[in-house]
Amino acid sequence: MNMLPFTRPTLGEEEYGAVQEVLQSGWITSGPRVVELEKNLAVYIGGGVDVRLFSSATAALEAVLIAGKIGPGDEVIVPAMSFVASANVVVRTGATPVFVDVDIKSRNLDAQAIRSAITGKTRAIMPVHFAGMPVEMAPIYELAASHDLLVLEDAAQAIGTCYQGRQIGSFGNPVSFSFHPNKNMTTIEGGAIASADPQLIKQLESIRFHGISRNDKGEMLVEAWGGKMNLPDVNAAIGLAQLKKLDGFNAKRRRLAEYYFRQLPSHPALVLPADTPGHSWHMFCVCLDFESMGMTREDILETFKAQDIMLGMHYPAMHLFGLYRQLGYGRGDFPVAEQIGDQTFTLPLFPAMTTDDVDRVAAVFNALLA
Q: What is the pLDDT of residues 258-281, one digit of tens each?
A: 999 999 999 999 999 999 999 999
Q: Over pLDDT 90: what percentage of the chain?
A: 99
Q: Which amino acid is at 94?
A: G
Domain boundary among the residues 217, 240, 263 is at 240
> Residue 178 gets which letter from DSSP?
E
Q: What is the pLDDT of residue 258?
A: 98
Query: Domain of 305: which CATH number?
Result: 3.90.1150.10
Domain boundary among the residues 214, 240, 266 is at 240
* Whether residue 92 is found in the same domain as residue 222: yes
Cβ neighbours of 190 (radius 10 Å) = 29
Return contacts of 8-12, CB within 8 angstroms, 24+ apart: 8/350, 8/352, 9/181, 9/182, 9/186, 9/350, 10/245, 10/249, 10/350, 10/351, 10/352, 11/186, 11/238, 12/241
Q: Per the domain annotation, does 175 fall within a domain? A: yes
List alpha helices for the chain, DSSP H. 13-25, 32-45, 57-67, 85-93, 111-115, 138-147, 198-207, 233-263, 297-305, 322-325, 335-343, 355-369
* Whether residue 198 is found in the same domain as residue 277: no
CB 114 within 8 A of CB 125: yes
Average pLDDT over residues 285-300: 98
Task: Find the radius of gyration of the CA atoms of the chain.
Answer: 21
Q: Per the domain annotation, does 27 fall within a domain? A: yes
Average pLDDT score, the chain: 97
Cα–Cα distance measured from residue 175 to residue 172, given in angstroms and rounded to the nearest whole number? 8
pLDDT band at 299 (very low <50, low <70, confident <90, very high): very high
Say how many Å lie between the first and final Cα of the chain, rounded: 24
* Whether residue 71 is found in the same domain as residue 56: yes
Q: Per the domain annotation, does 5 fall within a domain? A: no
18-42 pLDDT, tens per residue? Answer: 999 999 999 999 999 999 999 999 9
168 φ/ψ angles, rounded to the nearest 5 degrees: -55, 130
pTM of the prediction? 0.97
Average pLDDT over residues 317-335: 98
Average pLDDT over residues 174-179: 98
Domain boundary among the residues 240, 274, 305 is at 240
Burial (Cβ within 10 Å: 0-12, 13-18, ≥19) of residue 365: buried
Q: Over pLDDT 70: what percentage of the chain?
A: 100
129's torsion region: left (phi>0), alpha (psi -120 to 50) or beta?
Answer: beta
How many domains are there within the chain? Answer: 2
pLDDT at residue 238 is higher than 80:
yes
Alpha carbon 335 to chain centroid distance?
Answer: 22
pLDDT at residue 355 is higher than 90:
yes
- The DSSP code sequence of 68-136 is TT--TT-EEEEESSS-THHHHHHHHHT-EEEEE---TTT----HHHHHTT--TTEEEE--B-GGGPPP-
Q: Per the domain annotation, does 215 fall within a domain? A: yes
49-63 pLDDT, tens per residue? Answer: 999 999 999 999 999
* Whether residue 161 is found in the same domain as residue 105: yes
Looking from the CA of 204 toward its CB, the CA atoms found within 13 Å total 29
Q: What is the pLDDT of residue 143?
A: 98
Q: Per the domain annotation, does 231 fall within a domain? A: yes
pLDDT at residue 1 is higher than 90:
no
* Whether residue 175 is found in the same domain as residue 280: no
* Whether residue 215 is found in the same domain as residue 264: no
Q: What is the pLDDT of residue 337?
A: 98
Q: Per the domain annotation, does 8 fall within a domain? A: no
Cβ neighbours of 31 (radius 10 Å) = 16
Burial (Cβ within 10 Å: 0-12, 13-18, ≥19) of residue 38: buried
pLDDT band at 334 (very low <50, low <70, confident <90, very high): very high
* Whether residue 82 is found in the same domain as residue 104: yes
136-169 pLDDT, tens per residue? Answer: 999 999 999 999 999 999 999 999 999 999 999 9
Cα–Cα distance measured from residue 92 to residue 204, given in angstroms and rounded to the nearest whole number? 17
* Whether residue 322 is found in the same domain as residue 286: yes
pLDDT band at 195 (very low <50, low <70, confident <90, very high): very high
* Whether residue 106 is found in the same domain as residue 216: yes
Q: Per the domain annotation, does 3 fall within a domain? A: no
Query: Domain of 171: which CATH number?
Result: 3.40.640.10
Q: Which amino acid is at 170?
A: S
Active site residues: 183
* Whether residue 315 is found in the same domain as residue 229: no
* CA-closest candidate to residue 122, choices 130, 114, 133: 114
pLDDT at residue 15 is higher than 90:
yes
Cβ neighbours of 145 (radius 10 Å) = 10
Residues forming beta bridges with residue 214, ordered by sequence position: 220
Domain that holds residue 161: 13-240
* Whether residue 206 is found in the same domain as residue 83: yes
* Whether residue 88 is found in the same domain as residue 123: yes
Q: Per the domain annotation, does 280 fall within a domain? A: yes
* CA-closest candidate to residue 179, choices 164, 194, 166: 194
Cα–Cα distance measured from residue 172 to residue 178, given in angstroms and rounded to the nearest whole number? 18
* CA-closest candidate to residue 222, choices 210, 234, 205, 240: 210
pLDDT band at 331 (very low <50, low <70, confident <90, very high): very high
Cα–Cα distance measured from residue 171 to residue 140, given in angstroms and rounded to the nearest whole number? 13
70-110 pLDDT, tens per residue? Answer: 999 999 999 999 999 999 999 999 999 999 999 999 999 99
Residues forming beta bridges with residue 151, ordered by sequence position: 125
